[in-house]
Amino acid sequence: MKQGVLLFALIHCLGCGHGQVSYSIPEEMPSGSLVGNIAQDLGLDIKRLKAGKSRVFTGDQAEYIALDMSRGVLLIKERIDRESLCGQTMPCALHFQIILQNPMELYSVTVEIMDINDNPPTFVKKDMKFEISEYAAVGARFMLDVAMDQDVGINGVQSYSLNPTDNFQLNLKRQPEGAKMVEMVLQKPLDREKQKDMLLVLTANDGGEPQMSGTLQIHVTVLDANDNAPVFTQQVYRVSTTENSPKGTRLTIVSATDADDGSNSIVTYALSGSTAGIFDLFDINSHSGLIILTGDLDYERARNHEFYVEGKDEGGLSDSCKIIVDVVDVNDNSPIISIISKSSTIAEDAPSNTVIAMISVNDPDSESNGQVSCSINENIPFAIKSTSNRFYSIVSDSDLDRETNAEYNITVTCSDEGVPSLSSRADLSLKITDVNDNAPVFEKSSYEASVLENNTPGLSIFTVKARDADWNQNARVSYILVESSDNGVTMSSYVSVNAESGVIHAVRSFDYEQIKSFTFHVKAQDGGSPPLSSNVSVKITIQDQNDNAPQVLYPVQTSGSLVAEIVPRSADVGYLVTKVVAVDVDSGQNAWLSYKLQKATDRALFEVGAQNGEIRTIRQVTDKDAVKQKLTVIVEDNGQPPRSATVNVNVALADSFPEVLSEFSDFTHDKEYNDNLTFYLVLALAVVSFLFIVSIIAILSVKCYRWRRERMFYKSNGHLPVIPYYPPLYADVGGTGTLQHMHNYEVYRTTDSRKSCLKYGRPGSESIVSLDNTGTLQPVHREKLITEDFDDEQKPPNPDWRFNQNQRPGPSGAAATPDMAVGTGPWPQPPTEAEQLQALMAAANEVSEATNTLTPGTMGLSTRYSPQFTLQHVPDYRQNVYIPGSTATLTSNPQQQQQQQQMQQQMQMGPQQMGPQQALPPPQAAAAGPGAGPGADPGAMGQPEAPKAAQTPASKKKSTKKEKK
């Protein structure tokens, strides 16, 4: 129903005039709904609404309407319930004003609230009971309660219906005032024997859309013998009373008579619940009919009250009358003063007639009780003027001077014309603005404060405060630290000042031992233009804390030497052994020191002075006392919490220094072993862990290095240059030579002697290699030798191989024995330095000539050589072998070349045809040939000849020199 009314009831302007506008809206509109375009209806520009800070003024009433300045329209601020706002009063309207400033303007607005059907009819009672005699005549009337509907007009109660209608019918009576009286009329005689009780339902319907209804249940009990109903002497009783009448006031007495006799003629009276709230205001004596006041009447809420009184006899017949109570107004309301707009400040050079406030005065009383006049206090440069009905303006009417009076309190008094007259007051406070003519003043001429040392940075020390007699911004004080320095240190590194509150904070932690106090200045500056300021001196004193432990000056504790005090065994009691001297850099009681003996070899022998630190004997020294005495003295200050230091004092009980020296020879080793034990254990653990990690890293590095060398060789695919020549097989030609067995020596020489390799080879039958005509190792043999180089491990040397005296190097082995041919011994005469130099130069020339005939890839290098190693770095030993210290060059003989060719043929045969290899052949194998059988004649086998000595370049030049001579 509400939605239908909202859609049907369009908002419209009832009338617009100069300064006043009216609107009509339905109740229960949602918040934010449009009421009307106030700017258009008043002929105002939206800019004027914004510039004038327009707003809605409702006085002491609730604010249901809001103003949207951006669009110039009125909106529903709060849902409006017409029944709560006006009750049954018609019409129902809201009255408020639109206020604008600069200049001040006022417009009255009236919004009529239209009723919608949002409340159903209701009965005060849920049911009614009637006791009707069976002899009741047809046409007997029984008054029923009327339904109440908070809605008005067509939305109020419009019709009633009764169901069932077998014995009764409904009769509506319209009163002259427009009210309806509902009666139940008997249309058919009752028969108690047939039906003793009956239940009827009275339904009240309103005329709204959608239609709403309420019901009342009627219980009828049929009685015997009462055929006359009571009759009131008046149908309408009218009475007047003032609104301030006390409770219990007698209003009137109603009376009804009954023609019956006996109990049927006794009439009882009761109020009819036809109007809400009647039972709270009035009461009636059921026997006498006296109506009294039981509630408080208020003329401003309701000017009259109407209700009905029912008279009923014991037979159940009844009659009713109407009671009208008129409320008379009294002057019981004071005028209500509402400040619409006001200014809290005014410039002292403001012109006359400047509006400083606008007020509204309302008195809810009527007639003369509601007529109000206003005035202000005298002897002030202001006046009050009436602008329209119930609205006043307060204006200035003379010049203002702030230096004479900086503030005015204006009292507005409004009185009505009632008897007695009631009045109300409103106070306004007005301040006069001024110029900046006063500097800030500190509360003290100087400040002093103290702070404990070791404070936390940012600590609040204290607050400086300055006041300014000016007003507003001119009195706003800011605090600034005046920059200065103390011994080259700026004050800003010590403290900081909060610009707003003047709180002084410590920037850093202070140390009493470094700085005792410092002084700086703080400037207070106001916010005027130009600003004014003043300075104050501030002194900060640092208070000492017990933050330093005592320091022992004597005896001096050294780790490298032993200091001991000697006490003769003949010392008396109280003998001064030594004195512990300690100092504390703190001050006051924090520096008061006390001495106590903590540990001692013999506590019964020594004592320490608590104040002076003197160590004295407390008994006579005996022979049983140990020579070595160790005392531990603790030095403690008097601070909170106390701090302490310990010192060890060594005392020797002896009469002579040699005795002390013998006893204390090992005393120096008795150090703080227990104290340092943990340190040494941790240090040892760290060293062991470090060495373990270094070892692991070294092992991994070596493994990686060898792996890289192997990978490098395999990746080279055998194309790296290598020295293709291996030393030939040397054999002993004599049965009594230096070598009794045949051995191979594979020698690899590089430019770096540290990387040279000497490898003991296999038997001679397996160590011969063959070269082609160019002196180059064939590829098949080169790959086989390279593979064997990596597969075979180094064999241990033959323990039977020894050098005799003639074979040892040096002068003793230089001379040849008679049975040894010259030039064939292993250690010939050493050459001279000139011969060695000539041999080296000749070898270099041979290398340069030999490398020109070689191509890359014909020589295979072992993995010892890096890929950058070329033939230019390798001497060519294919033609001869030069032994340093000898004038002979060993060359291969034809027999060795034949053996090499035979070895090449054997290497081309499969491994299945070859015999097992031995690291060192037996002596028989060394003397026999490779293919000799067990019965072969040793003499028939061809033994290899000893290599002939070839001349070296040095020997050639020597022979040339001899020929020239």
pLDDT of residue 962: 43
DSSP secondary structure, 867-908, as one string = TT--GGGS---SS-EEPTT-SEEE---HHHHHHHHHHHHHHH
Best CA proximity match to 651, nearest among 631, 632, 669: 631
Q: What are phi and psi of 328, to 5 degrees?
A: -95, 130
pLDDT of residue 750: 44
What is the model's pLDDT at position 905?
Answer: 61
Contacts 24+ apart (CB under 8 A), 559-565: 559/671, 561/668, 562/650, 562/664, 562/667, 562/668, 563/650, 564/650, 564/651, 564/652, 564/660, 564/664, 564/667, 565/615, 565/649, 565/650, 565/651, 565/652
Section 337-342 average pLDDT: 90
Region for residue 831 given its phi and psi (left: phi exceeds 0; alpha: psi -120 to 50; beta: otherwise): beta
Report the pLDDT averaged over residues 195-203: 91
Q: Which tops the pLDDT comparison, 832 or 413?
A: 413
pLDDT band at residue 933 under the 50/70/90 scheme:
very low
For residue 103, say if its preceding peptide bond is cis, omega within 30 degrees of 0.
yes
At residue 316, the pLDDT reads: 81
Contact between 466 and 479 under an 8 Å Cβ cutoff? The reply is yes
Beta strands in 363-443 (DSSP E): 372-376, 382-388, 391-396, 407-416, 423-433, 441-442
Averaged pLDDT, 195-216: 91
Where does the pLDDT of residue 907 fall: very low under 50, low under 70, confident under 90, or very high at 90 and above? low
Q: Please state the φ and ψ torsions of residue 276, each to the nearest 5 degrees.
A: -65, 140
**What average pLDDT does the structure give for the chain?**
75
More confident residue, 902 or 930: 902
Q: Average pLDDT of 889-900?
A: 50
Alpha carbon separation from 74 to 68, 77, 91, 226, 277 (Å, rounded): 6, 9, 21, 66, 36
Collapse the DSSP code of 277 into the 3-class scheme (helix H, G, I; strand E, B; otherwise coil) and give the result.
coil
Per-residue pLDDT, averaged over 418-438, amounts to: 87
Report the DSSP pairing between strands 614-617 and 606-608: antiparallel
- Taking alpha carbons only, the member of 80, 105, 106 closest to residue 94 is 80
| Confidence bin at 787 (pLDDT 50/70/90) | very low
Average pLDDT over residues 560-577: 81
Please name every residue paired with 415 in a beta bridge, in sequence order, or none if there are none: 373, 423
Report residue 347's pLDDT band, with 50, 70 and 90 as the boundaries. confident
Q: Is the pLDDT of residue 578 over 60?
A: yes
pLDDT of residue 184 exceeding 70, the answer is yes
Please say whether the beta carbons of 741 and 798 come within 8 A.
yes
Question: Stretch 461-487: mean pLDDT, rounded?
Answer: 89
Amino acid at 3: Q
Query: What is the reported pLDDT for 466?
Result: 94
Least confident interval from 82-96, 540-554, 579-593, 746-760? 746-760
E runs forming strands in 614-715:
614-617, 628-637, 644-653
CB 230 within 8 A of CB 313: yes
Residue 781 per-residue DSSP state: H
pLDDT of 936 > 80? The answer is: no
Residue 17 pLDDT: 37
Checking if the pLDDT of 890 tops 80, the result is no
Residues listed for the chain: 965
Question: What per-residue confidence (pLDDT) applies to 902?
Answer: 62
Average pLDDT over residues 50-70: 87
Phi, psi of 268 (to 5 degrees): -115, 150
Q: Which helix (H) or strand (E) holds 362?
A: strand 355-362
pLDDT value at residue 213: 93
Strand order in the sheet with 477-482: 446-452, 533-543, 517-526, 477-482
Q: Which of 851, 904, 850 is nearest to 879 (CA)?
A: 850
**Whether residue 774 has pLDDT greater than 70:** no
Task: Looking at mean pLDDT, say which of 109-123, 266-280, 808-822 comes out highest.
Answer: 109-123
Determine the number of helices (DSSP H) and then strands (DSSP E) in the chain.
13, 57
For the cut 80, the answer to whether the pLDDT of residue 245 exceeds it is: yes
- Token pair 């005046």: residue: 482
Which residues make beta-bridge pairs with 636?
Answer: 594, 644
Q: Average pLDDT for residues 354-383, to the nearest whole number?
A: 90
Q: What is the pLDDT, as a whole number, of residue 430? A: 92
Phi first, then psi, for residue 48 (nearest 5°) are: -65, -35
- Of 322-331, 332-341, 413-422, 766-775, the range with the lowest mean pLDDT is 766-775
Token reading at 726: 């291996």
**Mean pLDDT in residue range 355-366:** 90
Mean pLDDT of 200-223: 91
d(CA 428, CA 374): 14
| Positive or negative: CA dihedral 11, 12, 14, 16 | positive
- Cβ atoms of 577 and 568 within 8 Å: the answer is no
More confident residue, 228 or 811: 228
Dist. CA 172–CA 286, nearest whole Å: 26
- 490-515 mean pLDDT: 92
Q: Is the pLDDT of residue 957 over 50?
A: no
* Amino acid (one-letter) located at 361: V
Q: Does the pLDDT at position 946 exceed 50?
A: no
Out of 236-240, 338-342, 425-429, 467-471, which region has the weakest mean confidence (pLDDT)?
A: 467-471
Mind listing the pLDDT tens digit for each residue in 811-837? 333 344 434 444 434 444 555 556 656
What is the structure's pLDDT at 204? 93
More confident residue, 367 or 721: 367
Dump pLDDT digits (tens) for 377-412: 988 999 999 888 889 999 999 888 776 888 999 999
839, pLDDT greater than 50: yes
Q: How far is CA 96 from CA 22, 111, 372, 385, in A?
A: 10, 9, 19, 21
Q: What is the 3-state secondary structure (H, E, C) of 196-229?
A: CEEEEEEEEEECCCCCCEEEEEEEEEEECCCCCC
The average pLDDT across 627-641 equals: 89
Answer yes or no: pTM beyond 0.75. no
Place of tokens 């005329």: 207
Three-state SS sequence of 647-666: EEEEEEECCCHHHHHHHCCC
Which residues of 814-887 form beta strands (DSSP E)? 881-882
Please give the Cα distance from 332 to 652 (Å, whole number). 113
Q: What is the pLDDT of residue 13?
A: 38
Distance CA 329, CA 241 (A): 9
DSSP string, 115-136: --S-S--B-SSSEEEEEEETTP
Instruction: Tell me which of 836 and 332 has the higher pLDDT.
Output: 332
* Per-residue pLDDT, 91: 87
Give pLDDT tens digits for 655-702: 877 766 666 655 444 545 555 778 888 999 999 999 999 999 999 999
Lowest-confidence pick of 326-330, 578-582, 896-900:
896-900
Least confident stretch, 122-136, 549-563, 856-870: 856-870
